[in-house]
Structure 1
């Protein structure tokens, strides 16, 4: 039985793009389980307008009982976010406090102190912590990937997401092997992604190497190698 949940990533920048994504997602509402809101695409907005955009998206999906992930992806991890570490911490804590979300994405590279601070606020507001780490330049070996996942567990995360860019098939295998090993240790809490075309098989992996979540798109891809959610649903229901 497949236990991987499908996440639709929404990354529209302006009102027209946001409405387009929401409409397409609602038209395909059974093809995904979770909505990821990419807050970094609103980086040019002030805090109030940023909040209005996020709340608008949340309100569009709550009637369908979809879980919500809030992600602010920084530039160093492949996103468009340019906030300082202090601003990043303050934003994530504020989102946990005032937004009706289920998961907050926390980049472990932000540092142990900031991570612990955000986790504390998340716990106080019944928000789960999705620890994440992205490297768009390389893929470390399996042991190094596992050390990152182990650190996420030590920090107290609820889900552990690692994503790397492969140079060859061996790099893709390293991610798959790490997910398989980490699942034996931590259960179905691990998300392992090898980006780009060659890594697509990690997004559709099943069995012992299946991830807890897989990320897809509805209108425009937000990461190299993302697959449309409708295609993901077909794959996982075969």
Structure 2
């Protein structure tokens, strides 16, 4: 039996886009397990409106037994987030404190101080940590990817996500091989993604090469190579 959970990523910038995504997600309610709220798309909003948007999504999907991930993806890791490190730390701590979320995404390259601070707040509010690393330029070899997972395990968290951009099919193989080996070492908490068209197979991998989570979209893709959640569900259950 496949144990990969499907995450639907919400990237709407305003009320109309968010409401359209919510409607589409409710129409495909059985095709995903987790909702990821991308807070970096709200960068132009003030704190109150940012919080309102996050809460509006949580209020719809929590009663429908969907888990919630809050992610603020910084520009250097492929997102649209432009907050300073101090602002990033404060935002993640505030989200853990004020919002009914299950997972907080913490970029492992954000620095030891931020990771320690958010880890403490998350623990106090029963929020699990999803440690993440994104490289949109290249893919290390298998040992290089394993060293990223090792760094995450040294920090400690509930999920470890590493995404890389491939230049060749060999790069894709490095990711699947690293996932397979990391699962032996750390259990079913590893997420390995090879982005873009070339790496799509990593998003629907089964068996020993499968990740703990796979990310899909409901209206527009949030990352290169993302697949619609209904197609993900079909591929993961057949």
| Band of TM-score, shorter chain | over 0.9
Secondary structure of 1:19 counterpart: helix
CA distance in structure 1 between the partners assigned to 2:147 and 2:120 by the alignment:
23
Residues in 2 aligned to 1:99 and 1:153: alpha-carbon distance in whole angstroms: 26
In 1, Cα distance between the equivalents of 2:11 and 2:137? 22
TM-score (norm 2): 0.99
Secondary structure of 1:101's counterpart equals: coil
Q: Considering only aligned residues, what root-mean-square deviation do their CA atoms show, in Å? A: 0.5
Q: Which residue of 2 aligns with 1:17?
A: 17
Is 2:143 aligned against 1:143?
yes
**Deviation for aligned residue 1:165:** 0.3
In the alignment, the residues of structure 2 paired with residue 62 and residue 184 of structure 1 have an alpha-carbon distance, to the nearest angstrom, of 32
Count of aligned residue pairs for this structure pair = 238
CA-CA distance at 1:46 after TM superposition: 1.1
Distance 1:35 1:49 in 2: 19
Task: Tell me the residue number matched to 2:82.
Answer: 82
Deviations 1:171-190 (A, max 9, x none): 00000010000000001000
Residue 7 of structure 1: how far off its partner (Å): 0.2
Extract unaligned runs of 5+ from structure 1: none
The reply to whether residue 201 of structure 1 matches residue 197 of structure 2 is no
**SS class of match (1:35):** strand
Offset of residue 63 of structure 1: 1.7
Q: Deviations over 1:76-132 (max 9, x none)?
A: 000000000110000000000000000000000101121111011101100000000
Match of 2:184 in 1: 184
Query: Distance between the aligned counterparts of 1:89 and 1:21, measured in 2?
Result: 28
SS in 2 for 1:63: coil
Q: CA deviation at 1:48?
A: 1.1
Gaps spanning 5+ residues in structure 2: where?
A: none
Partner of 2:93 in structure 1?
Answer: 93
Q: Partners in 2 of 1:207 and 1:16 — Cα distance?
A: 39
Deviation sequence 1:169-228 (CA, Å, 0-9, x none): 000000001000000000100000000001000000011110000000000000000000
Q: Post-superposition shift, 1:60?
A: 1.1
1:8 match: 8
* Per-residue CA distance 1:27-53 (angstroms, 9 max, x = gap): 110000000000000001111110000
Q: Secondary structure at the match of 1:215?
A: strand
Write the distance in 1 (CA, Å) between the matches of 2:141 and 2:91.
Answer: 33
Listed as ranges, the matches of 1:51-200 within 5 Å are: 51-200=51-200
| Alignment partners' CA distance in 2, 1:37 and 1:43 | 13
Deviation above 4 Å: which 4+ runs of structure 1?
A: none
Distance 1:119 1:180 in 2: 27
TM normalised by structure 1 equals: 0.99
